[in-house]
């Protein structure tokens, strides 16, 4: 039998395990399109609380969500300006956009000013996980809040690995760019502010 068949089956099993974990309020250590991250269902308050506790993070800080479709963007963001669609279509590097949120996600996801960070994931394991889960994913760096952000799996501290409910095997990480994304805030009238280049 073709070896690729077993690779596909293994990936399918890993994705099913990750979804089962998230459906039970679990949190993941998961490769994104940029770096490794902590992820969970962004509509699940219990799972989000677990991430806040693990990171020893202020509950007032917001998170970003990873999406893979225009439908998910429209679920999460209200009044999407034309410039946002242009940036999504034209950008080739990972780009996080901050815009006014809808009430689709947990309130724990939303910044105090009513905005949400959101990023399209176009390929790789994380894209396939979002596709199978049929929901966006919360994403945040896998570190205690006061400590440096790990850029590779090997830099993730044992405390974080032991604190999650499921770790995606490193062999499924594929190609990540190894650095945080650019961040642009977009007002409802289309004005933009570059927060991280």
What's the number of CA atoms in the CB half-sphere (13 Å) around residue 36?
Answer: 24
The domain of 191 spans 3-196
* Residue 137: closest CA among 167, 95, 106, 179: 106
Q: From residue 32, give the alpha-carbon distance in Å to each of 73, 89, 94, 142.
A: 17, 19, 10, 11
What pLDDT does residue 67 have? 97
What pLDDT does residue 6 have? 41
Q: In whole angstroms, what is the distance from residue 108 CA to residue 124 CA?
A: 27
Q: In whole angstroms, what is the distance from residue 59 CA to residue 167 CA?
A: 24
Residue 142: give its domain's CATH number: 3.90.870.10
Q: In whole angstroms, what is the distance from residue 157 CA to residue 77 CA?
A: 33
What pLDDT does residue 3 have? 42
What pLDDT does residue 9 have? 55
What pLDDT does residue 91 have? 87
Q: In whole angstroms, what is the distance from residue 84 CA to residue 159 CA?
A: 37
Tokens of 182: 């650019």
pLDDT along the chain (197 residues), means of 10: 49 95 97 94 97 91 92 95 93 92 94 94 94 97 92 93 95 81 92 91
What pLDDT does residue 132 have? 97
What pLDDT does residue 151 have? 87
Domain count, the chain: 1
């Amino acid at each position: 039998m073709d070896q690729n068949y077993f690779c596909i089956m293994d990936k399918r099993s890993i994705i099913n395990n990750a979804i089962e974990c998230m459906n039970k309020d679990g949190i993941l250590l998961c490769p994104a399109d940029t770096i490794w991250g902590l992820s969970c269902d962004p509509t699940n308050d219990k799972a989000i609380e677990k991430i806040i506790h693990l990171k020893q993070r202020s509950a007032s800080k917001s998170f970003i969500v990873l999406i893979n479709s225009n439908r998910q963007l429209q679920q999460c963001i209200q009044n999407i300006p034309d410039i946002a669609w242009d940036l999504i279509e034209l950008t080739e590097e990972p780009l996080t956009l901050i815009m006014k949120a809808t009430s689709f996600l947990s309130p724990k996801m939303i910044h105090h000013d009513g905005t949400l960070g959101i990023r399209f994931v176009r390929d790789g394991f994380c894209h396939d996980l979002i596709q199978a889960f049929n929901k966006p994913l919360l994403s945040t760096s896998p570190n205690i809040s006061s400590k440096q952000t790990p850029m590779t799996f090997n830099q993730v501290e044992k405390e974080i690995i032991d604190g999650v409910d499921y770790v995606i095997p490193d062999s499924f990480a594929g190609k990540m760019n190894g650095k945080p994304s650019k961040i642009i805030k977009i007002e409802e009238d289309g004005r933009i502010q570059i927060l991280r280049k």
